[in-house]
Amino acid sequence: MIAGLDRINELAKIQKTVGLTEEEKREQKVLREDYLRQIRGQVLDSFSGLTVVDPLGNDVTPEKLKEEQAKKRQDK
């Protein structure tokens, strides 16, 4: 589970019922930005491991993706 998600949900419930203080609004904004950053990172990690193959079995992975994959292998 993604860190902070429980608190994001808790703040959303508070916002719907009684409203948020300015401090809670700032906290909510920071937590949401962090959550989106984590999700984007997961998606990028997933895509970076993909190979695209056409119906004939040819590797048609875009060059930009191949370059990123090669760069990642070098970093390890």
Packing angle between helix 22-48 and helix 63-75, nearest 10 degrees? 100
In terms of Cβ atoms closer than 10 Å to its own Cβ (0-12, 13-18, 19+), residue 24 is middle
Maximum CA extent, the chain:
59
Kindly indicate the confidence band of residue 1, based on its pLDDT and cuts at 50, 70 and 90: low
CA 14 – CA 24 distance, rounded (Å): 10
The whole-number pLDDT of residue 4 equals 86
Domain locations in the chain? 5-75
What are the residues facing 59 on neighbouring strands? 53
- pLDDT tens, position by position, 24-72: 999 999 999 999 999 999 998 888 889 999 999 999 999 998 998 888 8
Specify the higher pLDDT residue, 75 or 11.
Answer: 11
d(CA 28, CA 25): 5
